Amino acid sequence: MPHRRGGKGGTCTPVVKHTFLQAYAHVGVNGVQFTSTTGEKMIATRGLAKDGITATIVLNGERNVHGRVCEACWGYMRSCTGERVGQAVVPLDSTVIP
């Protein structure tokens, strides 16, 4: 991560109203709780990509991490690394207060 051309998802790209930086700021140091489009309780937290530099939002589900999104793949159905994240990105975006 990051993927130079953004995430994956083609025509299935979800609509987000906020930028990655707005969402990252909203997540803050304490994280944000929300419910995915599949009804799973989730918590978004801040993280870093393997390079130790690139900021990410980590999408933690009830039992596992569903994926991580960076600025390049924010708003896509799949992250830069191919994880399915659309079910979490759209509802997380709706919690953002700019």
- Asked whether residue 54 is assigned to any structural domain, the reply reads yes
- Asked whether residue 1 is assigned to any structural domain, the reply reads no
Instruction: Give the pLDDT confidence score for residue 7 in this predicted structure.
Output: 55
Residues 6+ apart with CB under 8 A from 16: 23, 74, 75, 89, 90, 93
Q: What total number of domains does the chain contain?
A: 1
- Asked whether residue 4 is assigned to any structural domain, the reply reads no
Instruction: Give the pLDDT confidence score for residue 76 in this predicted structure.
Output: 87
Mean of pLDDT values over 65-70 = 94
Domain that holds residue 20: 10-95
- Asked whether residue 2 is assigned to any structural domain, the reply reads no
pLDDT digits (tens, 9 = 90+) for 21-48: 999 999 999 999 999 999 999 999 999 9
pTM of the model: 0.87
